[in-house]
Amino acid sequence: MSSMRTTLALCALLTFALCGCGISRPPLATASDRAIVHGSADAASICDEADAAVRGVTDYLNIATPDRPARIVHFRWWLPRRLYLGSVCPRMADAGAACFANEDGELEIVFSGSWDAAETKRLLRHELTHYVVASEWRGQVPPWLDEGLARFFELGPPYGRSHPKSLKALRKRLRRPSSNRLADLVRTPPGRKLVRTQYDAAWGLTWFLLTNLDVGPSEVTAYADDVRWPDDPSERFRLHFGASPAEMADEWRRAILAATP
């Protein structure tokens, strides 16, 4: 009987969540120059991690620290996270973590998980990279670069290591030459989501450019400054990186297949 009551209670909670009912933002826990953290017993550690992550991204790319701190909301469990996102940003309700502009015009990061878990810290670093990118380029950066940078920096320092999951998935696809479609990836405009298979390619292209001695972070940020929509970004790509996406595809493929896991 007790087990049945527990099951019914869980079903009721899930029904409540899936109906889109929300909860309010947890109370402020702590703050720094780069982060304002809500609702976590681990707020001080989260603040320290956020400070280090933002500093790492901005130093590596040689860009300015965002003018406004990130507002970070941490939940230990997934259900309160989903309820909260369902109320403040319904389009992101099913996301494991999110970075979005809230109704006050602030960039807000919402994530969940035990703070002791490496995966939880990875999620935070990923979303903090989106926060830095959105602060620097005001929503005009190409989606492949936005997601590629987030995956590049989510691993934490030292930067430049290959992403284990993305590398494995990308290598599997790139062994089929017909799947090498960098031009389609680069042409995806801001505001449009990448398709599932493009996320790994976004990491791979960003990693290749940032760690390439002939390109590096300065040229990547110069490209982000220079690309303009709705102009075709391929010519800007060629100008900054020395080849169009189609021309670079074979060299990129070889580099990914030769990368150290």
**Pairing assessment for the beta strands 97-101 and 35-38 based on DSSP bridges:** unpaired
Residue 4 lies in a domain: no
Q: Do 90 and 31 share a structural domain?
A: yes
Q: What is the pLDDT of residue 39?
A: 84
Across 21-96, where does the E strand assignment appear? 28-31, 35-38, 70-75
Strand, coil or helix: what is 206? Answer: helix
Q: Which H or E element spans position 108?
A: strand 107-112
Q: What confidence score (pLDDT) does residue 5 get?
A: 44
Instruction: Give the domain CATH number at 86.
Output: 3.40.30
Does residue 161 lie within any of the structural domains?
A: yes
Residue 2 counted as domain residue: no
Q: Is 6 inside any structural domain?
A: no
Statement: residue 9 has pLDDT above 50: no
User: What pLDDT was estimated at residue 216?
Assistant: 95
Q: Write out the two tokens for 176.
A: 């089929």
Enumerate residues 6+ apart whose C-beta is below 8 A from 195. none
Q: How many CA atoms lie within 13 A of 244 on its CB side?
A: 10
Asked if the bond preceding 230 is cis, omega within 30° of 0, the reply is: yes
- From 137, 159, 187, the end of a domain falls on 137
Check pLDDT > 50 for residue 186: yes
pLDDT above 80 (res 16): no
Total count of domains within the chain: 2
**Range of weakest confidence among 10-19, 144-153, 158-167, 245-254:** 10-19
Q: What one-letter code names the amino acid at 110? A: V
Q: What is the mean pLDDT of the chain?
A: 88
**Residue 8 belongs to a domain:** no
Give yes or no: residues 57 and 96 share one domain: yes
Task: Give the separation between CA 195 and CA 130, rounded to whole angstroms.
Answer: 18
Lowest-confidence pick of 5-9, 76-80, 103-107: 5-9
**What per-residue confidence (pLDDT) applies to 178?**
62
Asked if the model's pLDDT at residue 27 lies above 90, the reply is no
Say yes or no: 103 and 156 in one domain.
no
The range of the structural domain enclosing residue 131 comes to: 13-137
Greater pLDDT, 105 or 151: 151
- pLDDT reported for residue 234: 86
Centre a 10 Å sphere on the Cβ of residue 165 and count the other Cβ atoms it contains.
11
Cα R_g (the chain), whole angstroms: 20
Q: Residue 197 falls within a domain, yes or no?
A: yes
At 230, the pLDDT band (50, 70, 90 cuts) reads confident
Residues 42 and 122 in one domain: yes
Among 111, 137, 163, the domain-final residue is 137
- Tell me if 105 is assigned to some domain: yes
- Let me know whether 174 and 232 are in one domain: yes
Mark whether 172 and 231 lie in a shared domain: yes
Residues 124, 158 within the same domain:
no
**Residues 114 and 181 placed together within one structural domain of the fold:** no
Query: Same structural domain for residues 98 and 157?
Result: no
> What are the tens digits of pLDDT across the range 190-200?
888 898 889 99
**Nearest-CA neighbor of 147 among 187, 95, 230, 205?**
205
CA 86-87-89 angle, to 5 degrees, is 65
The sheet with strand 70-75 has its strands ordered as 28-31, 35-38, 70-75, 107-112, 97-101
What's the confidence (pLDDT) of residue 62? 97
| pLDDT tens digits, 151-174 | 999 999 999 999 999 999 999 998
Q: Which two tokens stand for residue 144?
A: 């492949």
Torsion of CA 223, 121, 50, 195, to 10 degrees: 30
Task: Write the DSSP symbol of residue 193.
Answer: P
Highest averaged pLDDT of the listed ranges 22-26, 115-119, 181-185: 115-119
Check pLDDT > 80 for residue 104.
yes
Of 98, 115, 137, the residue at which a domain comes to its end is 137
Rounded Cα distance, 16 and 254, in Å? 50
Judge whether residue 15 has pLDDT over 90: no
Which pair of structure tokens corresponds to residue 12? 């009721």
Task: Check whether residue 165 and residue 241 sit in a common domain.
Answer: yes
Q: State whether 152 and 243 are in the same domain.
A: yes
180 shares a domain with 165: yes
